Amino acid sequence: MYTDWKNVYKRQPTEGERLRGKAPTTQFGRMCERLEIEIIAASSPQAKGRVERSNGVHQDRLVKKLRRRGIESYAAANEYLEAEYLPEHNRRFAREAARPENYHVKTPSPAKLREVFRLETERWISNDWVVQYQGRFLQLKPQNKRYGPTRAKALICEWEDGAVEVRYRGAGIAHEDLAVRPAVVQAAAGELRREPAKQEGNKPTQNHPWRQSYKQRMTMQPLKRSQESSSVGVSASASP
């Protein structure tokens, strides 16, 4: 697909993506990638002109024709495109391909298309298993209550019909849409609370080497050596 450099098709990488070496992808680009459609962004002035002329024709001519016919719904617009607009447009502007081979693939199943045409957003999971998404609080319900998915990222999938699904590690996870996030339960006034253990460090004594200056340590070294040598001589004379 030949496009321009709008953020719908291509975007600049973030600082985190640049450090990880990850290629930036938009929502539209991810959908095209799963359908094995390569997006080629126009870079030269000639290529940009061709893209702008093609988009200008549809943005000007198609909008006016839809307005004249009173079309206001997606279903009616798609029916008009397939029945009248595209055949007339291709008849006037179509050109023969350079090669006769047909590289179009088979149309995916409706289930696969539903997995492609959706918005995907990553959100952090809080310690109470709540995910915030567009002002909503999604309370996760993992199967294992002991090992819940905390301090990790969940994938939020949203479809055009408003359906929302939360996926964690490639699998769907049940959730409940909360109107208001539950408040933190405070301990009662008379309830005993466990105090954290206090860590008491070992305080060095007054004669510790750390408290002595360099001159004091140098004067103490000959005295310690004489004491050690005298103790060695006493032990040697005492031995049989």
pLDDT (0 to 100) of residue 184? 65
Q: How far apart are CA 137 and CA 177, in angstroms?
A: 6
pLDDT tens per residue across span 133-144: 988 899 998 877
Residue 207, number of CB atoms within 10 A of its CB:
9
pLDDT (0 to 100) of residue 225? 64
Q: How far apart are CA 236 and CA 240, in angstroms?
A: 9
pLDDT (0 to 100) of residue 239? 47
Task: List the structure tokens of 128.
Answer: 């109470």
pLDDT tens per residue across span 173-213: 999 988 776 676 665 656 666 666 666 667 777 777 777 77
Give the global pTM. 0.61
Q: How far apart are CA 212 and CA 51, in angstroms?
A: 79
pLDDT (0 to 100) of residue 59? 83
pLDDT (0 to 100) of residue 52? 77
Which residues are within 8 A (CB) of 166 and not within 5 positions of it... i.e. 6 or more apart? 131, 138, 140, 154, 155, 156, 157, 172, 173, 175
| Total number of residues shown for the chain | 240
pLDDT (0 to 100) of residue 154? 92
pLDDT (0 to 100) of residue 109? 92
* Residue among 20, 45, 33 at smallest CA distance from 10: 33
Residue 131, number of CB atoms within 10 A of its CB:
23
Residues with pLDDT less than 50, the chain: 232, 234-239
Q: How far apart are CA 231 and CA 166, in angstroms?
A: 76
